[in-house]
Amino acid sequence: MSLNPYQIKAPVPEVLADLEVFRRSRALPEVWIRRVNILALGLGALCVGASFFLSPPELIIFGFMAFATAGVMLGWRLYLGVVRRGNLEGLEEAARRQELVSLLLKRLQVDLMPGETLDVWFRSRPSSWSWTPPSTLSVKELEGGKPWDAREPWLTLEARLVDGARLKVSLVKRVRSRQRTTKRPDGVVLRRKVRSKLATLLSVRLRVKPERHPGLAALTKAQALPALRLPHEGRLRRLDVSEDRLQLKVRVDGEWRVRWPGRETFEKRNDLSRTVTMMLLSLYQMLHVARTLPGPEPKSKSKRKASRKARGRRAV
């Protein structure tokens, strides 16, 4: 069972059990960091408190121990702030990703048949980004501020719902970077600065049987858009409508969070779980609109035979 990436085809309880194991393994570094901090603070407080009740010989020893403890704490904080900063940020994002997948699976479990298997592809640990511009961009394009993208697909989830529709959810992390160059009048470069913007690209697709939704073939984007409901942080990228599928693509800018029901939070981050849920509900609202539209006229027997012969000739 590999964590990065994690790929499995199993029922929801089995996938949730694996995610719980991953969550516990990710929590071990944070637990040890907290223990070291508490131990160092307790030792320093003990040395300072004991110095009030000791004579000069022992006072010098305990003073030296308090000074050494302060030095160790300073080195430890520098290590966490400089060496382990990127690693700890990756652990925090990995924890949020696992919480999001767990919440989505628990919400989808109600709409699945008992024992229904899921196809899950999940990358828990975020990739390390290279801030170097790609070689395909020229120096003139970089100095002109042309951006470049780095994308990381980290979740693909497929399942068959109770009504027979096939659901597919995809999430991609995108980092768009742009280089700013400051020059002197003689052309000498003074400074180069790279600025980046984070976004999450979401895609939700529903595949249905055309005979169960005949009005979907007559549904247009103009008729489907009024049924779209997204949170204020969601930006519509694309809507695809065909006779057997509906696909909605949305962009969420900035950092995101996961809000569990009943758990209050005041973090100013985008709730990605709510966005995915509203995208799925919007697609079902579009299916409801398609039911009110007249379907295509049924073909006669002669036309059906002619179309089968034409398909047979193309196959040959």
CB 103 within 8 A of CB 258: yes
Structural domain count of the chain: 2
The reply to whether 225 and 175 lie within a common domain is yes
Higher pLDDT, 84 or 132: 132
Q: Is the pTM of this model over 0.85?
A: no
- CA dist 306 and 315 (Å) reads 14
Q: Is residue 47 part of a domain?
A: yes
Residue 216 has pLDDT above 50, yes or no: yes
Give me the pLDDT at residue 196, please: 84
φ and ψ at residue 114, rounded to 5 degrees: -60, 130
Residue 54 has pLDDT above 90, yes or no: no
Residue 177 has pLDDT above 70, yes or no: yes
CA 222 to chain centre: 29
Residue 205 has pLDDT above 90, yes or no: yes
Q: Which residues pair with 168 in a beta bridge?
A: 158, 205
Give me the pLDDT at residue 81, please: 55
Residue 1: pLDDT band with limits 50, 70, 90: very low
Segment of 62-71, 221-230, 264-273 carrying the highest mean pLDDT: 221-230
What's the whole-number average pLDDT of the chain?
78
Mapped onto helix, strand or coil, the DSSP state of residue 185 is coil
Residue among 160, 230, 243, 242 nearest 202 (CA): 230
Q: Percent of the chain scored above 70 by pLDDT?
A: 66
Q: Is residue 284 part of a domain?
A: yes
Q: What is the dihedral of CA 75, 78, 84, 86, to 10 degrees?
A: 180
Q: Is residue 119 part of a domain?
A: no
Take residue 88 and report the two structure tokens written for it: 């700890």
Residue whose tokens read 């949020």: 96
Q: Is residue 120 part of a domain?
A: no
Give me the pLDDT at residue 206, please: 94
The reply to whether 92 and 159 lie within a common domain is no
Q: Is residue 3 part of a domain?
A: no
The reply to whether 178 and 246 lie within a common domain is yes
CB 203 within 8 A of CB 170: yes
CA dist 22 → 15, 55, 131 (Å) = 11, 52, 29
Domain that holds residue 85: 13-113
Q: How does pLDDT run across 230-256, given as a tens digit for each residue?
A: 988 899 999 999 999 999 999 999 888
Give me the pLDDT at residue 316, please: 38
The reply to whether 106 and 199 lie within a common domain is no
Residue type, 59: L
The reply to whether 194 and 45 lie within a common domain is no
